[in-house]
Amino acid sequence: MIRTLLAVGAASIAWNTHGLAQTVAAEDTVHVIRQSSLGNPRLSESSGLAASRVTPGLMWTLNDSGNPPELFAIDSAGGNRAVLRVEGARNRDWEALAIARCGRSDCIYIGEVGDNNRDEDTLRIYRVAEPTRPTSASGTVRLNGVITFRYEDGPRDAEAILVTRNQDVYVISKERSGGGRVYLLNRSAWDQRGLTVARFIQELPLPQGSRFQITDASIAQDGIRVVIRTYGYIFFFRLENGTLRLDDHRPGCYAAGLDIQGEGITWLGDGRLVTTSERRTGLGGTVSIVECR
């Protein structure tokens, strides 16, 4: 276990979107409460993260890029709790996770939305019912639904999804120049067969540059607060009237150097967040509990 206060410098960032200037100040640096190694050696590319709605302290994550179609349950100290294979699904490039209601239960939503070469015409959102008592033993879960879709304006790479209380899915692209574009899959897509078109909603008000490439996002249980992670920053938004708006009172914090390759993020509660990173040669992936002060 590593306990540390991240000490890194950051320049102030200011930009204008629709005439509104927003700033992340230099002193707003992420505070690490606890950082631990991911315990399961099979979990090498943790790319998405979602906090359980059923089991307090439990989180779900996944491997990306052609790994088996598996979900990993971990605790906040990186301990392995369960590995579940998703029957009927494939993992071409899973990159994102979310947990939201689906009918009378909670579901884990899996975003097969990675497309590094931007040449995939068909992408998918899978969902499975969240197990109520995951154990350390391996098991299987069955699909509860799937959306097959394409973007209305051509292929995009993405690593972040948001799922609302009414099961609308927002996909946030990862633009090479930084920032992202937001696309909507309406809840009616869960009842459709064949290919659905994801409709463009907005361009996110983020600066350009590799540190602003989006790697994950999570919506709080209130259905309004949204956290978005990039390679260098953590940003806070609010989902209001179907649009993501930067939180004027709490825009974000500087997070470069938090871990090896920052990927996953989710809400823990009490203003705290949990993040994960991928593994690199000689260095294991990590899970961190952090705050933006």
> Which pLDDT belongs to residue 221?
92
pLDDT tens-digit series, residues 36-58? 999 998 998 999 999 999 898 99
> Which pLDDT belongs to residue 174?
97
Which is more confidently placed, 22 or 214? Answer: 214
Kindly report the pTM of this predicted structure: 0.92
Pick the CATH number of 13-277 from 2.60.120, 2.10.260, 1.10.260, 2.120.10: 2.120.10
> Which pLDDT belongs to residue 248?
83
Residue 13 has pLDDT above 70, yes or no: no
Q: Give the separation between CA 118 and CA 124, rounded to whole angstroms.
A: 15
> Which pLDDT belongs to residue 103?
86
> Which pLDDT belongs to residue 260?
77
pLDDT tens-digit series, residues 85-114? 999 999 999 999 999 999 889 999 999 999
Confidence grade of residue 9 (pLDDT, cut at 50, 70, 90):
very low
pLDDT tens-digit series, residues 237-276? 999 999 999 998 888 999 988 887 889 999 998 889 999 9
Name the burial class of residue 166, with classes exposed (0-12), middle (13-18) and buried (19+) by CB atoms within 10 angstroms of its CB.
Answer: exposed
What single letter denotes the amino acid at residue 283? L
pLDDT tens-digit series, residues 66-86? 899 999 999 999 999 999 999
What single letter denotes the amino acid at residue 202? Q
Confidence grade of residue 281 (pLDDT, cut at 50, 70, 90):
low
Residue 22 has pLDDT above 60, yes or no: no
Q: Where are the domains positioned within the chain?
A: 13-277
Confidence grade of residue 27 (pLDDT, cut at 50, 70, 90):
low
pLDDT tens-digit series, residues 132-148? 877 766 799 999 999 99
Q: Give the separation between CA 243 and CA 71, rounded to whole angstroms.
A: 30
Q: Give the separation between CA 280 and CA 245, rounded to whole angstroms.
A: 34
Q: What mean pLDDT value characterizes the chain?
A: 89
Q: Give the separation between CA 212 and CA 189, rounded to whole angstroms.
A: 30
> Which pLDDT belongs to residue 262?
83
Q: Give the separation between CA 100 and CA 112, rounded to whole angstroms.
A: 17
